[in-house]
Structure 1
Amino acid sequence: MSERTGAQVLVDQLKIHGVDTIFCVPGESYLAVLDALYDVSETIRLIACRQEGGAAYAAEAYGKLTGKPGICFVTRGPGATNASIGVHTAYQSSSPMILFIGQVPRAHQEREAFQEIDYRRMFGQMAKWVSQIDDPRRIPEYVSRASHLAVSGRPGPVVLALPEDILTEAVAVPDAGPYRRAKAAPAPEDMLALREMLAGAERPLLIVGLAGWTPEAALDIRAFAEANQLPTAAAFRSQDVVDNRADYYIGATGVGSNPNLNKRMRNADLLLVAGARLDQLTTAAYKLIDIPRPKQKLVHVYPDPDELGRVYQADLLINATMPEFAAAARNLAPVDGSQWAGWARSGREEYLKFIKPTPTPGQLNFGEILAYLREHLPAETIVTNGAGNYTAWCHRFYEFSVPRTQLAPTNGSMGYGVPAALAAKLVHPERVVLAFAGDGCFLMNGQELATAMMYGLNIIFIVVNNGMLGTIRMHQERNYPGRVSGSTLVNPDFAAYARAFGAHGEVVEKTEDFPAAFERALAANRPALIELRVDPEALTPGSTLSATREAAVAKKR
């Protein structure tokens, strides 16, 4: 057995586990890994981003999009702290990811050496496992465990620290084999109990969430919903699991959700929840489902047994991974859905009414632009966004029909959309990739335009510019009307900003000017940015800034 450096062993393990893309910001603490990657550049793409937060976001999005661990390398100290935002996003979004961090040499540890941090303490609550490889002979073992953990059960992030000196030490060590996803199938008696509960329901509602869906599993759960004429909603930022254009789909829960859908969650007599944690956003701050015993009958299906019973005591708990549950659900004999046909039909009608664009102040109506995009873009288009009030329009007026076409952070993390789009275009260069960002959101990672230019990733970025941090301003006006503090923005000319990178850039100020501008962006054959200048009075799809303030003032009288 020939000797290899620790870095060469590490890179060989990544190849064995099927890694084809690595996102990074180069650092001196893992120079040996960068050198080892030079020798495998034909099989592993190294994407050098401009900030570690962007690299980590891109790796998280890669994991969400492919189901394989997204791989990110950063340097110690500041590199790791910058990357932590992507780890937190991966944890709350249930996305498989492995973050490798260059670490100070073993001989320097516990002295507060240059940029030294104890990563077990730092990342302990935001990752499935955090460890440090102190023996290069154990690299195959650690990378294998990290890969298995990232994709199994509830998918999520793993963090491994790499002391600089283990990467240059020569060792003779055998390789591991490729990882396999651990599967958990539902018990047959549980599926029969589920069917019996469904057959006895009058107002059932299926809610699907993010945790571990494959495209095949998404198709299986769609077939189950269709066969049973089962009204179906998506948990926060999980809209692409089901076909939004199907008759059984009645909307998405979460921020800016349809009030009628919230009523349906309260009034349902059976909630079948698959892959969703029933977290704060999905349950409207835990107001739609009583704690700990819901008034609705509850079937909770989730891949992590620690989540089952954590907040809600369900009538039926099913610990299963989504592909296995969805396949079992599809194979169940359908029940007679005619007893809830009216319930399902009215839910669909409420949804279709809700996605019609609403009038908004100013010359540009963002809802009408999204309606245009949903009618003209291919179904396979991948749409990304970060966080901010602009996303209420995105989630309400755009529709998804193909699995794994929505990339959005369930932890409400700003700056996500731009780097997530990098991953999307790398995985699917043949597709249209559309990244939405608010003016505040965009400038948190707008520098990754340089990465898009460097690697020829022809993404279309749409920046919604209203000159403020819209979500914060909304909450200010609701709670402290008229007392604006810290939420006003002075922005650059975003189109000129894009052109400075070599991208196509233009400004749209009227709704009717958007289609031609979008066609020019599609035809630009390079990254393109369209800045939408929106009236700040258009605070949400359903309320103006002035009306929000006036309502708050009246409430305080």
Structure 2
Amino acid sequence: MTPAAIPERNGGQILMQQLRIHGARRVFMIPGESYLPCIDALNEHTDAIEPIVCRQESGAAYMAEAYGKLTGEPGICFVTRGPGATNASIGVHTAFQDSTPMILFVGQVGNDFMEREAFQEIDYRRMFGQMAKWVAQIDRTDRIPEYISRAFAVATSGRPGPVVLALPEDTLWGRARVADLPRYPRVHSHPGAADLARMTQLLDAAERPFLLLGGNGWHQSAIDQIAGFAERFELPVGTAWRRLECFDQRHPNAAGHVGWAMTPALRQRLRDADLVLAVGTRLGEATTEGYTVIESPLPKQKLIHVYPDAAELGRVFSPTQAIVADVASFAAAAAGLAAGHAEPRGQAVRAAHQELVDSLAPLPSPGPMSLDEAAAYVDAHVPADACITVGAGNYALYPHRYRRYAGPGTSLTPTVGSMGYGLPAAISAKLEDRNRTVVCYAGDGCFQMNMQELGVALQYRLGVVVLVFNNGIWGTIRAHQEREFPARPIALSFENPDFTQIIRGYGGHGEAVERTADFGPAFERALAFAQRENLPALLEIRYDANGISPGETLMGIREAALARAAH
């Protein structure tokens, strides 16, 4: 097309057309006057791009981050300048530490007002500099296609992550004749033949190898390929902290969830391993339990570290072998490898899986309402492909322990441990697949950080089921407090509203549950309502705060701390 034939468009029209070309199907947003041309341009793309009007920017950013996890494509979020950007920053921080592709567009004051501390003005390069892969400001209307194409490439290449683009008003209102750029190319990194040969030798020579999976980019065929690889090489398979969807926990090679609060048997199995093959995971603090199970900088086990970004390899751990490859490309390559280990390792695989199966039996808990029993009931009564979302708090350890996750899309949870994530993530999951059962686990404190997003579930008719765990305290912090300052609780409790009344205000179904025997019937009613009415349902689970995590009580933590202090 000749320059004269290119239609003149404003910046908002150019930007939205570019998003469409790059495959954006949904944008999560809080409307703001600072990017009005973008909002208006959505009128031209209602057949391809669905705008989701959220209630607060943190909820919008969380939904976009969850979209990135679910699809592998950048989640798109639009917020206004100043307060909108600061509210959305939690989603950017989550996307960075979770290695999730995401693009946050922020309205900005016009260039003619820049550097005067104009109304809501912030320098976003400085603000987001340490929590995004790339932060930029588009100062020329004719360069919008260039910036958008680069944003998609940066967000998805190497270690995926968030990009932040500021949009000055004069850039969006300005007009230009500029050609659209084609859809961005997805870059994949593949293991070399020499890498695979050396890895095979190390695996064949090992006596107690362990395969640890994590990161983003897993799809069903990649999981199937890595499962076949694990079967041939007789490897127990663990999933890294809050990457529960990376492997089917019902598979006979599954060994469980690796990280904080893992079972003692799994912890010991990792410590005793003579080789760890870590694929897609950064081996962060949570997965390694403070860099103790796998030590930094030099692990006691031989470590083969497979990761899509060379800059991460050798940064925290000194590996025996480092392989630059994304998870899907590695799984495809591993599917063609033949094992040659001399000694059979099947008994260890079977023992590891049996330990996982044994851990699914609910542990005893204080009081008439058992969270262990409730989580086990959910596992047994939702489909294998159901999506379970959680935020942050000790209540999350129950679905982590008792749910057998089955693969891509079955878990949405922030590895960064950010509260308020569960409900927005559940909404994003339901928008992505309205036929999928979606259950959100939320603590009473966690839920109240973003419960206003129930309005999105109401507006878009999304039948999510929310389990609110009401113990009236900041439970995780109380547990830490009892360990460090036993018997001196202060500033950790709060009085809650009646959550069952709140959900009814949003057109949903609500019940309070105080006994284990009542949970199952109430859960079935909530599921049925959500599926029938396409509206949210909520169970407020009131339980004894002493039951702080599976198999552990606050009083037990306190007594152990007092005993240590006495000696």
> TM-score interval w.r.t. the shorter chain?
over 0.9
Partner of 1:146: 151
Amino acid in structure 1 at the alignment position of 2:51: L
Partner of 1:535: 544
The equivalences for 1:130-145 within 5 A come to: 130-145=135-150
**Does residue 523 of structure 1 match 2:528?**
yes
Amino acid in structure 2 at the alignment position of 1:100: F
Partner of 1:238: 243
Partner of 2:3: none
Aligned-partner Cα distance in 2 for 1:389–1:494: 20
Q: Contact 2:10–2:174 at 8 Å: present in 1 too?
A: yes
Aligned-partner Cα distance in 1 for 2:348–2:290: 25
Amino acid in structure 1 at the alignment position of 2:133: K
Q: Contact 1:229–1:337 at 8 Å: present in 2 too?
A: no
User: 1:111 offset after TM fit, Å?
Assistant: 0.9
User: 1:337 offset after TM fit, Å?
Assistant: 7.8
Partner of 1:441: 446
Aligned-partner Cα distance in 2 for 1:553–1:421: 41
1:408-450 CA-to-partner distances (Å, cap 9, x unmatched) read: 0000000000000111000010111111100010000001001
The equivalences for 1:445-460 within 5 A come to: 445-460=450-465
Structure 2-normalised TM-score? 0.97
Within the candidate set 555, 563, 566, 1:554 is matched to: 563
Aligned-partner Cα distance in 2 for 1:218–1:403: 9
**Does residue 218 of structure 1 match 2:223?**
yes
User: 1:405 offset after TM fit, Å?
Assistant: 1.2
User: 1:15 offset after TM fit, Å?
Assistant: 0.6
3-state SS of the aligned residue for 2:19?
helix
**Matched residues, percent identical?**
52
3-state SS of the aligned residue for 1:434?
strand
Unaligned runs of 5+ in 1: none
Partner of 1:308: 313
Amino acid in structure 2 at the alignment position of 1:219: D
User: 1:115 offset after TM fit, Å?
Assistant: 0.7
Amino acid in structure 2 at the alignment position of 1:263: Q
Q: Contact 1:229–1:344 at 8 Å: present in 2 too?
A: yes
Aligned-partner Cα distance in 2 for 1:27–1:392: 38
**Does residue 183 of structure 1 match 2:188?**
yes
Partner of 2:91: 86
User: 1:334 offset after TM fit, Å?
Assistant: 2.8
User: 1:338 offset after TM fit, Å?
Assistant: 5.3
Q: Contact 1:438–1:463 at 8 Å: present in 2 too?
A: yes
3-state SS of the aligned residue for 1:539?
strand
Partner of 1:545: 554
Q: Contact 2:359–2:401 at 8 Å: present in 1 too?
A: yes
Aligned-partner Cα distance in 2 for 1:194–1:351: 27
The equivalences for 1:100-499 within 5 A come to: 100-336=105-341, 339-499=344-504
User: 1:373 offset after TM fit, Å?
Assistant: 1.4
Deviates more, 1:328-337 or 1:266-275: 328-337
Q: Contact 1:230–1:337 at 8 Å: present in 2 too?
A: no
Q: How large is the Cα RMSD of the aligned pairs?
A: 1.1
Q: Contact 2:203–2:341 at 8 Å: present in 1 too?
A: no
1:424-477 CA-to-partner distances (Å, cap 9, x unmatched) read: 000010111111100010000001001110110110011011111110000001
Within the candidate set 41, 56, 64, 2:61 is matched to: 56
Aligned-partner Cα distance in 2 for 1:58–1:452: 12
Shift in alpha-carbon separation, 1:299–1:82, aligned structure 2, 3 A: same
**Does residue 67 of structure 1 match 2:72?**
yes
User: 1:240 offset after TM fit, Å?
Assistant: 1.1
3-state SS of the aligned residue for 2:406?
coil
Q: Contact 2:222–2:327 at 8 Å: present in 1 too?
A: yes
3-state SS of the aligned residue for 1:94?
coil
Aligned-partner Cα distance in 1 for 2:103–2:168: 16
The size of the alignment, in residue pairs, is 557
Aligned-partner Cα distance in 1 for 2:130–2:400: 29
Partner of 2:17: 12
**Does residue 28 of structure 1 match 2:37?**
no
Aligned-partner Cα distance in 2 for 1:283–1:64: 22
Amino acid in structure 1 at the alignment position of 2:208: R
3-state SS of the aligned residue for 2:467?
strand
Within the candidate set 499, 509, 512, 1:504 is matched to: 509
1:165-185 CA-to-partner distances (Å, cap 9, x unmatched) read: 111111100000001210110
User: 1:336 offset after TM fit, Å?
Assistant: 4.3
Aligned-partner Cα distance in 1 for 2:313–2:32: 41
Deviates more, 1:473-482 or 1:539-548: 539-548
Q: Contact 2:11–2:171 at 8 Å: present in 1 too?
A: yes
Structure 1-normalised TM-score? 0.98
